[in-house]
Amino acid sequence: MIKPTCDDTILEKKRNLKNRYFSFTFKPFSLVKKCKPGHFVQLELPNTDIYFRRPFSIASVTSDGDIEIIFKIFGKGTALLAELAKGGTVNLLGPLGKSFTFPKKNEQTIIIAGGVGFPPLMYLAVEMIAKGYNPKSIHFFYGGRTTDDIIEKSRIKKLGVNFYPVTEDGSYGTKGLVTKPVEEFIQSSDSKMRIYSCGPTGMLKAADSLGLKYSVPGQLSLEAPMPCGVGICLGCVVEKNDGTHARVCCDGPIFEIGEIKL
């Protein structure tokens, strides 16, 4: 575990990404250099009666102290957060959790993102490219109900990765569930592959099954209500396939395919 910091940061940039999605960039976060794709921060909601912090995966960092999260309004906490004005102060605790393990250089990277699960995966793709991975070895599958659930399309496209948007109603990209084109891709590929997925439980389950079915290793990023985020409350545990419990916050949130009972 990285020794986290607890920083008061300013909301520098606030973007309304439509359909209740927001991108918030905070500054200055003193440990940006320690942040890696898959890490998250616990954000303290200012001036509310909401007691606990809220966990958000990191979407991007810059070397001069910017840290970005992307979230969707789901409940009371995220609704209040969305109202925060530019220039407001928010306390961030992090970076927390385990980060993704990068693929081997000879592997094709299959990213399976769903809804608000895409930010850590976009961060992974960005960091991989910065580390010299060929963007064309990254296959970014992104599923949502409609075109409005596929966020930051142009930002992902700009990375030069193979981008496969999939929507249930066919309003953008291929029609159907994201796992179908993923399975077709795996079946048609002779290369070594590695899966990275983050999204709704149904999608994680499908990604997990595909990995096990075709013997493709990979990692899943899980989400859970999380009182502490640092491993002390045992509130966020999930069941592992070996019958034991794992804490999402510090044994994860990144887990291997086949590890967790989904």
Partner 1 sequence: MKPDLKVNIAGVEFANPLMTASGCCGYGEELADIFPLAKLGALVTKSISLNPRLGHPPPRTAEVRSGMLNAIGLANVGIEKFISDKIPFLDKQPTKIIVNVAGSKLAEYVEVCSKLNDFESVSMIELNISCPNVDEGGMEFGSDPVMTEKSLKAVKKVFDRPIIAKLSPNVTSIVEIAKAAEQGGADAFSVINSLVGMAVDAESWHTKITNNKGGLTGPAIKPVALQMVHAVYSHSSLPIIGIGGIQSTTDVIEFLLCGATAVQIGTALFKDPMLFIKIEKELLQYMKRKKCNTIYDLIGKVRKY
* Contact footprint for partner 1 (CB under 8 A): 1, 3-4, 6, 44, 49-53, 93, 224-225, 227-239, 243-245, 250
| Of 4 and 211, CB closest to partner 1 | 4
DSSP 229-252: SSSSS-TTEEEBTTS-EEETTTT-
Whole-angstrom CA distances from 199 to 2, 20, 47, 223 are 25, 17, 30, 9
The whole-angstrom separation of Cα 142 and Cα 238 is 25
At which residue do the structure tokens 């960091």 appear? 127
| Of 1 and 212, CB closest to partner 1 | 1
| Of 77 and 88, CB closest to partner 1 | 77
Least distance in Å: CB of 200 to partner 1? 17
| Of 64 and 242, CB closest to partner 1 | 242
Least distance in Å: CB of 133 to partner 1? 31
Provide the Cα torsion 9, 15, 16, 20; round to 10°.
-50
Least distance in Å: CB of 1 to partner 1? 5
Least distance in Å: CB of 228 to partner 1? 4
**H-type helices in the chain, by residue range?**
76-82, 118-130, 153-158, 179-188, 201-213
Least distance in Å: CB of 31 to partner 1? 13
| Of 65 and 227, CB closest to partner 1 | 227
